[in-house]
Each structure stands twice: as structure tokens, then as C-alpha cells.
Amino acid sequence: MNTQSFMTATETADVEQVDKAILAIQAGDTITAQNFLLDVMKRAPTQYTYQFVDS
């Protein structure tokens, strides 16, 4: 399934950052992983809806 077809460029970049963080964690590099995840968190909305709402 191509999930990127409905994701924004920012969301796609965030997914890539999380993937890099996972690899860093697996390599034991928690500082790098933390930096990747903090970067993603900066763009997270303060009010997050985890379900789609039909308008």
C-alpha cells in the first residue's frame, strides 16, 4: 500500500525522520534518535486529532 499518496511533504519527511530514529535506536545511538524525534515533535500540533473527522 502506498500510504504516501495522501500524506503531505512534511508528513513524509517526518516519517523518514522517525525511520532514522528507529535505526539510531537499534544502533544504540540514543542521542541521535532523540534529535530526530525532537525535530518531528516541533511540528506536531498542540491539539492533535488521532482520527479523521468527516466534514
**What is the torsional sign of CA 33, 34, 39, 45?**
positive
Residue 52 pLDDT > 70, yes or no? no
Residue 41: its pLDDT value, please? 94
More confident residue, 2 or 24: 24
Residue 48: its pLDDT value, please? 74
Contact 14, 47 (CB under 8 A): no
Residue 15 pLDDT > 50, yes or no? yes
Residue 54 pLDDT > 60, yes or no? yes
Report pLDDT digits (tens) over 25-47.
999 999 999 999 999 999 888 88
